[in-house]
């Protein structure tokens, strides 16, 4: 929607920051000349050489989970090595071990959890997108004296985005942790709040202030040149107060556009503003928006949590092939989180264990990709890496196990949904 009628080749190391959907508004060219959305290394033919392979131009990505917001369940060794093992969230760890020590150990983590070689590996697997979860505390001026979060993360975020851009990857930044938490007792918010405190005017305003600041960073720092989308908040509670839509979503969208207007950003370089879709259960994100230009929508499809799907391998394959992960009129939609995990109570049984069911998980991955690419703009797997020794949550480990092919285009002829 609202696509321009031309495509401009982007030499990522020479041009200013642009924000768009790749292959539709702009082309992304890596430093080595690769275009991951068109499968060509020729920088002279991008305008004419649209991809004709299956799922041309689809988002195919991974989340950089536990980089800037550590979720202890998926990075327990790292968490313990930082001295945080007895704490449930980043807030609690920083409060417990003290600001000075926390800053030191978190900087060590940020500098090592994801390195430049990871992006080279992602590129070699045909991935073209990364989604980066971050917390509002990245903008340290809006953190109150009663809040405890690691400091100094901004330069590491810029470095990560620069490496991703050098590899030719499209980047989505996601406010995963909102002020006072948008979900109950969940460390993905960076906090362990028993009551989600985000849903007040004061906290909405802090969230909007963060998004305003982030948009300015994206448009004024060349390290963020491949950031084309900002998600205003990740996974707010189901049945959230209507003010989430009528106040926060509206103000967040207007604030992002306001920054772009003040910076004289041309409309074809606007950031896509992304919202959780209606299927998520927090309401219709479009309900109060007066302008839908350059909006996008995020669906999270963890079949393990869908109780309408029977817990059998056949039912999981059928659901993967037939489920439509998009609401009517909400385009483009991206499936921003999904995995290969079955329900916790069966994941280690003989029917579902990772050792004896490689063939199933290979088919399950392919089926989900086929389904997502048939009905949406694409997908982003959760996550690139974990410390679970379980490839169902780690793209990197799943490739190593032979579950995910290095040639993603081969999935189109896999027969997974025949």
List active site positions.
235, 337
Q: What stretch of H or E contains 78?
A: helix 76-81
Question: Which pair of structure tokens corresponds to residue 366?
Answer: 């392919």
DSSP character for 8? B
Residue 144: which residues within 8 A CB-CB, separation 6 or more?
none
- The rounded distance, in Å, linking the Cα atoms of 241 and 200 is 9
380: exposed, middle or buried (C-beta count within 10 Å: 0-12, 13-18, 19+)? buried
DSSP character for 407? -
415: left (phi over 0), alpha (psi -120 to 50) or beta: left
Specify whether the CB–CB gap between 201 and 245 falls below 8 A.
no
Query: What are the start-end ranges of the H helices in 339-410?
Result: 358-375, 395-400
Q: Among all chains, which residue has been given the structure tokens 């839908």?
A: 292
- The rounded distance, in Å, linking the Cα atoms of 59 and 393 is 19
The CA-atom distances, in angstroms, between 367 and each of 275, 305, 322, 341 are 25, 18, 9, 14
- The rounded distance, in Å, linking the Cα atoms of 43 and 41 is 6
Pairing of strands 129-135, 59-63: parallel
Q: What stretch of H or E contains 334?
A: strand 333-337
- The rounded distance, in Å, linking the Cα atoms of 141 and 127 is 35
């Amino acid at each position: 929607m609202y696509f321009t009628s031309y495509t401009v080749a982007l030499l990522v190391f020479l041009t200013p920051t642009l924000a768009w959907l790749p292959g539709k508004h702009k082309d992304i060219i890596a430093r080595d000349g690769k275009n991951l959305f068109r499968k060509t290394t020729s920088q002279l033919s991008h305008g004419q050489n649209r991809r004709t392979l299956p799922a041309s131009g689809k988002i195919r990505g991974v989340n950089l989970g536990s980089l800037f917001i550590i979720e202890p369940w998926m990075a327990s060794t790292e968490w313990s090595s930082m001295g945080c093992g007895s704490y449930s969230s980043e807030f609690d760890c920083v409060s417990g071990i003290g600001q000075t020590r926390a800053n030191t150990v978190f900087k060590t983590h940020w500098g090592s959890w994801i390195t430049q070689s990871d992006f080279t590996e992602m590129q070699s697997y045909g991935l073209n997108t990364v989604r980066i979860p971050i917390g509002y505390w990245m903008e340290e001026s809006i953190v109150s004296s009663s809040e405890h979060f690691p400091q100094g993360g901004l330069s590491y975020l810029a470095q990560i985005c620069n490496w991703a851009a050098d590899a030719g990857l499209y980047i989505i930044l996601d406010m995963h942790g909102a002020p006072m938490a948008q979900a109950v007792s969940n460390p993905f918010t960076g906090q362990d709040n028993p009551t989600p405190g985000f849903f007040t005017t004061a906290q909405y305003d802090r969230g909007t202030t963060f998004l305003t600041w982030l948009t300015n960073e994206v448009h004024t720092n060349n390290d963020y040149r491949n950031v084309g989308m900002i998600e205003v908040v990740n996974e707010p509670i189901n049945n959230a107060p209507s003010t989430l839509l009528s106040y926060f979503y509206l103000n967040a969208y207007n604030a992002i556009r306001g920054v772009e207007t003040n910076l004289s950003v041309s409309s074809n370089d606007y950031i896509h503003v992304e919202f959780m879709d209606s299927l998520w259960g927090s309401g219709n994100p479009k309900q109060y928006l007066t302008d839908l230009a350059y909006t996008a929508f995020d669906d999270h499809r963890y079949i393990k949590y869908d109780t309408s799907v029977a817990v059998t391998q056949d039912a999981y394959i059928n659901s993967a092939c037939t489920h439509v992960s998009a609401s009517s009129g909400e385009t483009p939609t991206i499936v921003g989180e999904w995995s290969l995990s079955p329900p916790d109570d069966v994941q280690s049984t003989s029917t579902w264990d990772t050792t004896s069911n490689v063939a199933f998980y290979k088919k399950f991955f392919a089926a989900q990709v086929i389904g997502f690419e048939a009905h949406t703009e694409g997908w982003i797997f959760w996550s690139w890496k974990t410390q679970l020794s379980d490839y169902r949550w780690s793209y990197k480990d799943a490739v190593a196990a032979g579950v995910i092919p290095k040639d993603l285009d081969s999935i189109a002829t896999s027969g997974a949904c025949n």
